[in-house]
Chain A
Amino acid sequence: MENIPKDLQNVAMPPDELERAVAIAKPTNQKVRKAADARLRFDDEPAGYLDFLKQK
């Protein structure tokens, strides 16, 4: 698990289910971080998508 202490999750999950969810999240986290490093500019921010839709 990346960056998230268990006590901050605050959702009771059995250990095997916790492991399974983390196993799905871990490669996804890495893939998104890698894509963000390659693509995101300083001025990119979430609201930009709605602006984009308006322009189109």
Chain B
Amino acid sequence: MKALDLTLAEAADGLARGEFTSVELTRAAIERARELGPTLNCVARLDAEDALQQAEVADRERKSGKSGPLLGVPLAHKDLFYVRGKVVACGSKIRRDFVPETTATVLTRLADAGAVNIGSLHMAEFAFSPTGYNEHYGHARNPWDTAHVPGGSSSGSGAAVAARIVYGSLGTDTGGSIRHPAAMCGVTGLKPTVTRVSRAGAMPLSFSLDCVGPLARSARDCARLMDVIAGADAADPTASNEPVPRHEAALDGNVRGLRIGVARDYYYDPVTLDVAHHLQESLATFRALGATVTEVKVPDIDLVNTLMHVLMTVEAATVHRKWLETRRADYSLQVRSRIEPGLFYPGTRYVEALSMRAAITREFLATAMKDVDVLHLPAIPIPVPTIQESTIGPDVMRVIGTLGHCTRGLNYLGLPVIGVPAGFDSKGLPIGFQLVGRPFAEAALLKTADAYQRVTDWHKKKPM
């Protein structure tokens, strides 16, 4: 059905104009999930009957005069957001039968805005993989070439949005888990400022670093989703009370005078020629739009990555400690190996890593971002690897480490980051860049990405 090729915002607006019904869109999304879901291994659970009932309700509400930014739009989300009464496995064997008693705040907010939830999307085991690696349920696959990884840990979200199964999806990002699938599947993904979006009812990996955010086909789509999900939440005391701006209303296409910083030190070290070429082209586009581009220096990112590693592994080991004792064999070795070092950091190292966070973030803003509004960085510095390259052989850990080279430190800093498609490599796999903003500057990032997408069409390319 052609309507599935629309963006989320176009679909929502088409529903509002009566060009099609929610039942029609939802039925098409379910059919496409059934058609492509097994090939891409991107759907964890399809709730066809529930979804069609939600769509019927949306259509009835519209007839009775109700409107809403997402009324009747079919979505699906990473399988770690709790849905009361449904199995939420978190990509794991351990939670294969877990049925939560509550629903994640973000899913409730989407439902209140009229969105239809057609089910849950596949993910890396307990959100621990930049590739989407999952030994228990099989690896999800990249819709541009199924021999390649889709990126993780929100692997199903990236694949399903790119493959036109759903218009948008929520994921989580602890070290790049929204930005990796966005970059590798050719969709737009926003990791908001830490605490900007409630995490209540999302299975934690690392509560200091976890961020909930959208993956969709355009910056405008992400802005519309952010307008619905961002903001304080009584169920999550860590969620920020910072006022939420109107993200979509800020999209005016004007980036004249915007100051863009390019950090070549560290971030460009492993960048391949193919990737570098497209990064340069995207900068040329911004220059043509009236932005200025200058080179900036960044502080010691290796240290930032080390501190991020301590927070992530200690907090994950705390969440998983009981299962590591009692259900050790139910983890894949790759995931268990990433959690276990967290058991061996003294409390003092952990508190030191937390305590240095403000000073190091302040230093980053005062150096790398002193004279610029946003930073432009590679998303992943190498071409999208194949599943084989990232699961077998001596190069596996190097490939996995390189995928997170440009993403993981930004979670320690807590800054908002948007991933934007910017072309394709010689094998036809997507390439993307990241834009980094100041705390709570999501609207500025979305506006910048939207201006880029008004004059480029990388985000409109369709894989299958």
Q: Which residues of A contact B (CB under 8 A)?
A: 1-4, 9-13, 17, 20-22, 24-26, 28-29, 31-33, 35-36, 39-40, 44-46, 48-54, 56
Note all chain A residues with C-beta closer than 8 A to B340: 11, 13, 17, 20-21
Tell me whether A53 and B344 are in contact (CB under 8 A). no
Query: Could you list 12 A-B pairs, sorted by A, with CB under 8 Å?
Result: A1-B344, A11-B324, A13-B340, A21-B340, A22-B341, A28-B310, A29-B345, A35-B306, A39-B356, A44-B359, A46-B351, A51-B358
Tell me whether A4 and B303 are in contact (CB under 8 A). no
Contact of A36 with B355 at beta-carbon distance under 8 Å, contacts A11-B343, A25-B344 already known: yes
* Least distance between A10 CB and chain B CB atoms (Å): 7
* Least distance between B198 CB and chain A CB atoms (Å): 15
The residue that A49 contacts in the complex, of B321, B344, B361, B365, with Cβ under 8 A, is B361
Note all chain A residues with C-beta closer than 8 A to B343: 9, 11, 21
CB-defined interface of B277-317 with A at 8 Å, one 1/0 digit per residue?
A: 00000000000000000000000000100110110000000
Contact of A40 with B352 at beta-carbon distance under 8 Å, contacts A2-B346, A4-B344 already known: yes
Tell me whether B321 and A11 are in contact (CB under 8 A). yes
Secondary structure class of chain A's binding surface, majority of residues: helix
Total inter-chain residue pairs, C-beta < 8 Å: 110
Note all chain B residues with C-beta closer than 8 A to A45: 355
Interchain CA distance A10-B458 in the complex, whole Å: 51
Confirm or deny: B68 has a beta carbon within 8 angstroms of a beta carbon on chain A. Answer: no
Give A3's nearest chain B residue, CB to CB: B346
Note all chain A residues with C-beta closer than 8 A to B303: 31, 35
The residue that A32 contacts in the complex, of B240, B310, B359, with Cβ under 8 A, is B310
Size range of the chain B interface in the assembly: 35 or more
8 Å CB interface, B325-349 against A: 325, 328, 337, 340-341, 343-346, 348-349
| A-B pairs with lowest CB-CB distance, top 9 | A25-B344, A46-B354, A36-B352, A52-B358, A56-B439, A21-B340, A24-B341, A49-B357, A48-B358
Confirm or deny: B213 has a beta carbon within 8 angstroms of a beta carbon on chain A. Answer: no
The residue that B341 contacts in the complex, of A25, A33, A48, with Cβ under 8 A, is A25
Note all chain A residues with C-beta closer than 8 A to B276: none
Interchain CA distance A51-B148 in the complex, whole Å: 42
The residue that B349 contacts in the complex, of A1, A12, A21, A29, with Cβ under 8 A, is A29
CB-defined interface of B185-216 with A at 8 Å, one 1/0 digit per residue?
A: 00000000111000000000000000000000
Interchain CA distance A22-B337 in the complex, whole Å: 11
* Least distance between A17 CB and chain B CB atoms (Å): 7
Interchain CA distance A32-B355 in the complex, whole Å: 11
Note all chain B residues with C-beta closer than 8 A to A39: 356, 359-360
Interchain CA distance A25-B240 in the complex, whole Å: 32
Tell me whether B344 and A21 are in contact (CB under 8 A). yes
Interchain CA distance A33-B356 in the complex, whole Å: 11
Note all chain B residues with C-beta closer than 8 A to A11: 321, 324-325, 340, 343
The residue that A4 contacts in the complex, of B346, B358, B361, with Cβ under 8 A, is B346
The residue that B325 contacts in the complex, of A10, A21, A28, A35, with Cβ under 8 A, is A10
The residue that B307 contacts in the complex, of A9, A32, A51, with Cβ under 8 A, is A32
Note all chain A residues with C-beta closer than 8 A to B62: none
Given A11-B325, A46-B354, 20 more contacts at CB 8 Å?
A: A10-B325, A12-B328, A21-B343, A22-B344, A25-B341, A25-B345, A31-B306, A32-B307, A32-B353, A36-B355, A36-B356, A39-B359, A40-B352, A40-B355, A46-B351, A48-B358, A51-B358, A53-B195, A56-B365, A56-B440
Confirm or deny: B180 has a beta carbon within 8 angstroms of a beta carbon on chain A. Answer: no
* Least distance between A50 CB and chain B CB atoms (Å): 7
Interchain CA distance A4-B337 in the complex, whole Å: 19
Tell me whether B242 and A54 are in contact (CB under 8 A). yes
* Least distance between B342 CB and chain A CB atoms (Å): 8
Confirm or deny: B414 has a beta carbon within 8 angstroms of a beta carbon on chain A. Answer: yes
Interchain CA distance A9-B346 in the complex, whole Å: 11
Contact of A33 with B349 at beta-carbon distance under 8 Å, contacts A21-B340, A25-B341, A54-B242 already known: yes
Give A21's nearest chain B residue, CB to CB: B340
Note all chain B residues with C-beta closer than 8 A to A4: 344, 346
Confirm or deny: B376 has a beta carbon within 8 angstroms of a beta carbon on chain A. Answer: no
